């Protein structure tokens, strides 16, 4: 990857009908002044009309009309080019939407109408092996009740008859239009069904557990070419410079996909949304620049966690649990639940593949469906990463063998009576039984299932059940706080510079559970666990009088609400209400997305509304935030400066150049007041202007000192000397840039400050944020007087 192709820095914008291509064009002057080199856009292809995110693509051959279509896109790119800005686009290769009405997706419409004879049948990962129709689980109740109520009707008003169910519109298979309605339904290439059966009976691959996002088969060369033709053309025409690949782990073969994309785009800059677990590395043979930066986020956040204080918060959290459990057990339990319930259809399909393999290979016979199901669930739950990378017909990488072997050993130890089944599934997943169509299918499909189990089980369930410090419950994160600190950060940064110098780094995204400034405020709680406990107790006791019953909300739910309230404060009640509803459903205990308990949710929301309207309840929250704020400011500025100058291409998520304390989506996708941001960039006082100034200064240094930032630059860990040395994190980029930041600022203040802690600077240096000059042995107490950070460039 050449420096010419890599951005200096990107700025992520969430497109939606209110923020289209022409709106992006108007932001060009501001973003150019801020200092980014590329605007990084959410998906731009035609999505479901009104989509607020763009990941529900319905037509790969068109730019989204809601955003301005092709003409708007061209106007936008011209305006951006006039200001020296390039374009990076988010690509969704894994799935497309099953919209309402269904006519919006003509590819799937063709499949529903013509079944396996459709020219688009190869696009979708439908199991046609049992000659079963495509399941369409959209009915609000069971089909017998729907028929009795007359809710299904044949519309003969047009050129072709259509089947209508409220807003749903479905094709009628030619030659069946004159059948009685029950017989007509049975004669289609699809089967209408009650929505609740989808998790158990779905026969097409989907995105995670979302029935309305059907996976597509980009491993097929024709499907790849047709679904990527427009994006490849935009790259060739110079209108798009780089691509961000959504969820590559959902693909049959990410490595081959990235090679095809590399060739098709003549080596455009490509980053992948790959979630790496602790100590996991991105495969070195992937043709991309690196990840989208969740691993960077984890490394930076870890600088600001006090492990001793985290241990005390973990003890507090354990006291609130009905049955205290370590996080690993909570995560395992959640992954088992997800595999059995939400992803039951995927598990059942895998078991069916194993049984069909048994018909051709005697070594895989004599395993009951129940035993195979139980063994498969346990093996899936024991996978410690999103997936292994095994390709049919190739020797599996040593890392993949190690991962699957360890997972199988743990599963067999937990369930010794399933050891034979677990061993057979492990060997089948590693391709050790040879090759056939069904054996290859298991190899691929197993890997496509481990990711959803991990994501839904850990990030979307366990993180809402176990949270001593919710700021650590982040995508790719570890709530136990392992691998945090200065050593872990520098080790990550060195690897990034050596292997992926043009990979993206980030602190906030459209998918983070909490924005950077919210997390960094909460990180201070790890330094002040005693104050945190007293503040929580005061909040809880004051709020108890508003509870519907002594058990609603539970102490654990109150702790979750309290942490997020402290992090987001001040926050509008409706934002907290939306967050709490999502959090309760994601936890999947008293209520869930699949089985909403309206009475329980109403009781919690009633308590929340009353608590947020009670000054006695809010007083300890406001008092604690006042204590945290100076240290949160230090964390915010320190983390941002580190991210912007450490190895990699930094992304700034929309609005996060200023202070942003957003909760999980859709809260973090709210519209940004760019007029206010432009005013802060022009000057002014306060924390927002301070952060904007830091971002603009750091990005200017990246442009002006490009030789110190790119692939050939060195990364050097710097250390301080003196009594407070542990509170500094510093590094050199090349020979001419030095970054200095403060960590654990509350503890630093309690010990009395920096004292005579020194940083040695050889030569003369300019501090870019203040304009001061420095050299020799510099007292950190002097260097970091006005700001908790310093950005130094060597003077001639």
Whether 458 and 349 share a structural domain: yes
Shared domain check, 224 and 203: no
Bond into 644 cis (ω within 30): no
Q: Are residues 113 and 251 in the same domain?
A: no
Tell me whether strands 715-718 and 728-733 are parallel, antiparallel or unpaired.
antiparallel
How far is the C-alpha of 650 from the C-alpha of 300, rounded, in Å?
12
Q: Is 11:695 a contact under the CB 8 Å cutoff?
A: no
Mean pLDDT of 218-247: 98
Q: What is the mean pLDDT of the chain?
A: 96
Q: Is residue 423 part of a domain?
A: yes
The Cα-based distances of 362 to 350, 358, 359, 367, 435 in angstroms read 18, 6, 7, 11, 14
d(CA 40, CA 558): 38
Which DSSP string do the residues of 218-252 spell out, in sequence order? TTSHHHHHHHHHHHHHHHHTTS--EEEES-GGGSS
Q: For residues 558 and 5, what is the distance between their CA atoms, to the nearest angstrom?
A: 49
Domain termination residue (choose one: 446, 462, 478): 462
Give the pLDDT confidence of 591-622 residue by residue, as tens digits: 999 999 999 999 999 999 999 999 999 999 99
Please compute the mean of the pLDDT values over residues 218-246 and round it to a whole number: 98
Is 60 exceeded by the pLDDT of residue 702? yes
Are residues 171 and 226 in contact, defined by beta-carbon separation less than 8 angstroms?
A: no
Share of the chain above pLDDT 90, in %: 94
Q: Are residues 85 and 222 in the same domain?
A: yes
* Pairing status of strand 168-171 against strand 86-91: unpaired
Helix (H, G, I), strand (E, B) or coil at 443: helix
Cβ contacts of 758 within 8 Å, gap of 6 or more:
720, 721, 722, 777, 778, 779, 780
Buried b (16+ CB within 10 A) or exposed e, 107-138: bbbbbbbbbeebebbbbbbbbeeeeebbbbbb
Same domain, 124 and 226: no
Indicate if the pLDDT at residue 1 is higher than 70.
no
Q: Is the pLDDT of residue 735 over 70?
A: yes
For 350, phi and psi rounded to 5 degrees?
A: -65, -45
Q: How large a percentage of the chain has pLDDT more than 70?
A: 99
CATH code of the domain covering residue 722: 2.60.40
φ/ψ (deg, to 5) at 187: -95, 0
Angstrom distance (rounded) from CA 677 to CA 692: 8
- Is 717 exposed, middle or buried, given 0-12, 13-18 or 19+ CB atoms closer than 10 A? middle
pLDDT value, residue 129: 73
Report pTM: 0.96
Q: How far apart are CA 241 and CA 421, in angstroms?
A: 48
The neighbour count for residue 259, using CB atoms within 10 Å, is: 15
Say whether both 53 and 17 belong to one domain. Answer: yes
In angstroms, the Cα distances linking 36 to 33, 42, 306, 592, 740 are 8, 17, 33, 41, 22
Q: Please check whether residues 78 and 224 belong to one and the same domain.
A: yes
Average pLDDT value for residue range 690-713: 95
* For residue 586, pLDDT beyond 80: yes
Query: Structural domain tally of the chain?
Result: 5
Sign of CA dihedral 122, 127, 131, 133: negative
- Please name the helix (run of DSSP H) or strand (run of DSSP E) that holds residue 322, with its range, or none: none
Question: What integer is the mean pLDDT of 347-359?
Answer: 93
In a domain, 501, yes or no: no
Average pLDDT over residues 757-786: 97
* 208 and 224 inside one domain: no
Q: Is 474 domain-assigned?
A: no
Any domain includes 419: yes
CA distances for 385 relative to 13, 15, 399, 553, angstroms: 29, 31, 11, 33
Work out the average pLDDT over 764-778: 97
Instruction: Identify the CA nearest to 765 among candidates 729, 788, 736.
Output: 736
Q: Please give the Cα distance from 789 to 426 (Å, whole number).
A: 50
Q: Are residues 260 and 350 in the same domain?
A: no
Secondary structure element (H or E) that encloses residue 742, with its range: strand 737-742
Per DSSP, which regions of 498-577 are E strands?
A: 504-505
For the record, the structure tokens of 134 come out as: 């495509």
The helix/strand count (H/E) of the chain reads as 28, 24
Residue 171 β-bridge partners: 162
Rounded Cα gap, residues 717 and 221, in angstroms: 46
With respect to residue 647, please indicate whether it lies within any of the assigned structural domains.
no
CB 277 within 8 A of CB 385: yes
Q: Coil, strand or helix: which one is 450?
A: helix
Question: How far is the C-alpha of 766 from the C-alpha of 36, rounded, in Å?
Answer: 22
Q: Are 284 and 276 in contact (CB under 8 A)?
A: no
Separation between Cα atoms, residue 496 and residue 499, nearest integer Å: 5
pLDDT at 421 (0 to 100): 96
| Token pair belonging to 123 | 């696009």
Q: How far, in Å, CA of 377 to CA of 653, rounded? A: 37
3-state per-residue secondary structure call for 276-295: CCCCCCCCCCCCCCEECCHH
Write the Ramachandran bin of 133: left for phi over 0, alpha for psi from -120 to 50, otherwise beta.
Answer: beta
- State yes or no: pLDDT of 4 exceeds 70: no
Question: Residue 74 is part of a domain; what is its CATH number?
Answer: 3.20.20.80
Segment 521-548 shows an average pLDDT of 97
pLDDT in tens, 149-170: 999 999 999 889 999 999 999 9
Q: What share of the chain is helix, strand, coil (3-state, %, to 5)?
A: 50, 15, 35
pLDDT for position 3: 45
Nearest to 582 by CA among 601, 610, 603: 601
Q: Are the C-beta atoms of 77 and 123 separated by less than 8 Å?
A: no
Nearest to 575 by CA among 565, 566, 584: 565
- CA angle 239/241/247 to nearest 5° reads 115
User: What is the model's pLDDT at position 132?
Assistant: 85
| pLDDT over threshold 50, residue 2 | no
| DSSP E strand stretches across 345-500 | none
Return d(Cα 757, Cα 753) in angstroms, integer: 9
103-149 pLDDT tens trace: 999 999 999 999 999 999 999 999 887 678 999 999 999 999 999 99
Structural domain includes residue 289: no
Residue 229's domain spans which residues?
10-94+218-274
Q: First CA to last CA across the chain, in angstroms?
A: 31
152 and 209 together in one domain: yes
Give the pLDDT band of residue 442 (cuts 50, 70, 90).
Answer: very high
Residue 697 inside a domain? The answer is: no
> 279, 729, 718, 721: which is closest to 485 by C-alpha?
729
541, pLDDT greater than 60: yes
Residue 640 domain-assigned (yes or no): no
For residue range 649-701, list pLDDT tens digits in order.
999 999 999 999 999 999 999 999 999 999 999 998 999 999 999 999 999 99
Instruction: Give the model's pLDDT for residue 711.
Output: 87
> What is the structure's pLDDT at 548?
86
**Region 478-498 average pLDDT:** 96
The enclosing domain of 165 has a CATH number of 3.30.1590.10
Q: CB of 193 within 8 A of CB of 136?
A: yes
CA distance 197 to 350: 18
**Co-location of 45 and 81 in the same domain:** yes
Domain identity same for 89 and 110: no
The pLDDT tens digits of the residues spanning 42-61 come to: 999 999 999 999 999 999 99
Q: Which residue has the tokens 């798009």?
A: 240
Residue 182 has pLDDT above 50, yes or no: yes
């Amino acid at each position: 990857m050449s420096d010419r192709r890599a951005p200096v820095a990107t700025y992520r914008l969430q497109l939606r009908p209110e923020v289209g291509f022409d709106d992006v064009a108007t932001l060009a002057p501001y973003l150019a002044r801020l200092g980014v080199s590329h605007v990084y856009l959410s998906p731009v292809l035609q999505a479901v009309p009104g989509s607020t995110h763009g990941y529900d693509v319905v037509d790969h051959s068109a730019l989204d009309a809601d955003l301005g279509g092709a003409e708007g896109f061209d106007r936008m790119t011209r305006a951006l080019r006039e200001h020296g800005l390039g374009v990076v686009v988010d690509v969704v290769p894994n799935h497309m939407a099953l919209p309402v009405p269904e006519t919006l997706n003509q590819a799937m419409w063709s499949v529903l109408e013509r079944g396996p004879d459709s020219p688009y049948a190869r696009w979708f990962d439908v199991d046609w092996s049992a000659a079963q129709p495509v399941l369409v689980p959209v009915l609000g109740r069971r089909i017998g009740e729907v028929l009795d109520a007359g809710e299904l009707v044949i519309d003969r008003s047009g050129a072709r008859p259509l089947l209508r169910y409220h807003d749903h519109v479905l094709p009628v298979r030619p030659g069946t239009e004159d059948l009685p309605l029950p017989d007509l339904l049975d004669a289609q290439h699809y089967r209408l069904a009650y929505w609740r059966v989808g998790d158990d009976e779905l026969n097409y691959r989907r995105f995670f557990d979302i029935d309305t996002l059907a996976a597509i088969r980009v491993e097929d060369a024709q499907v790849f070419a047709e679904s990527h033709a427009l994006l490849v053309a935009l790259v060739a025409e110079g209108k798009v410079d780089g691509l961000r690949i959504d969820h590559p782990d959902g693909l049959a073969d990410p490595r081959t996909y990235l090679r095809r994309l590399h060739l098709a785009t003549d080596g455009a800059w490509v980053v992948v949304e790959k979630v790496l677990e602790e100590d996991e590395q991105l495969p070195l043979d992937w043709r991309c620049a690196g990840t989208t930066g969740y691993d960077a986020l984890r490394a930076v956040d870890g600088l600001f966690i006090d492990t001793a204080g985290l241990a005390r918060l973990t003890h507090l959290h354990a006291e609130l649990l009905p049955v205290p459990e370590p996080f690993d057990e909570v995560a395992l339990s959640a992954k088992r639940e997800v595999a059995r319930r939400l992803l039951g259809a995927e598990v059942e399909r895998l078991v069916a593949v194993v049984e069909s393999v048994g018909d051709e290979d005697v070594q895989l016979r004599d395993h009951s469906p129940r035993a195979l199901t139980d063994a498969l669930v346990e093996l899936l739950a024991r996978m410690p990463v999103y997936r292994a990378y095994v390709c049919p017909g190739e020797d599996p990488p040593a890392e993949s063998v190690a991962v699957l072997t360890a997972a199988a050993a743990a599963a067999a130890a937990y369930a010794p009576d399933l050891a034979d089944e677990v061993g057979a599934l492990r060997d089948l997943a590693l391709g050790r039984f040879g090759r056939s169509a069904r054996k290859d299918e298991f190899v691929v499909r197993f890997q496509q299932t481990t990711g959803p189990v991990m994501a839904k089980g850990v990030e979307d369930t366990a993180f809402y059940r176990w949270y001593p410090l919710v700021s650590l419950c982040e995508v790719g994160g570890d709530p136990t706080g392992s691998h945090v600190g200065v050593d872990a950060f520098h080790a990550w940064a060195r690897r990034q510079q050596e292997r992926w110098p043009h990979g993206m780094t980030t602190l906030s995204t459209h998918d983070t559970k909490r924005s950077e400034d919210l997390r960094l405020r909460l990180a201070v709680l790890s330094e002040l666990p005693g104050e945190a406990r007293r503040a929580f107790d005061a909040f809880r006791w004051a709020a108890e009088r508003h509870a519907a019953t002594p058990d609603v909300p539970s102490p654990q739910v109150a702790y979750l609400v309290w942490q997020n309230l402290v992090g987001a404060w001040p926050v509008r009640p409706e934002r907290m209400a939306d967050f709490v509803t999502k959090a309760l459903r994601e936890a999947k205990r008293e209520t869930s997305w699949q089985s909403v308990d309206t009475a329980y949710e109403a009781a919690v929301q009633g308590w929340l509304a009353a608590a947020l309207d009670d000054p006695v309840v809010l007083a300890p929250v406001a008092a604690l935030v006042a204590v945290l704020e100076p240290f949160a400011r230090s964390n915010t500025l320190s983390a941002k400066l580190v991210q912007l100058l450490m190895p990699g291409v930094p992304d700034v998520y929309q609005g996060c150049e200023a202070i942003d304390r957003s909760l999980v989506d859709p809260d973090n996708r709210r519209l940004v007041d760019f007029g206010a941001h432009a005013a802060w960039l022009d000057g002014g006082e306060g924390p927002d202007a301070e952060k904007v100034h830091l971002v603009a200064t750091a990005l200017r240094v990246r442009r002006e000192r490009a030789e110190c930032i790119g692939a050939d630059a060195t990364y050097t860990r710097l250390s301080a000397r003196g009594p407070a040395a542990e509170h500094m994190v510093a590094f050199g980029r090349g020979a001419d840039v030095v970054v200095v930041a403060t960590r654990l600022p509350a503890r630093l203040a309690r010990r009395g400050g920096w004292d005579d802690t020194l940083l040695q600077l050889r030569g003369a240096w300019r501090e870019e944020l203040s304009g001061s000059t420095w050299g020799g042995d510099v007292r950190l107490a002097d260097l970091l007087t006005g700001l908790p950070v310093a950005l130094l460039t060597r003077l001639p």
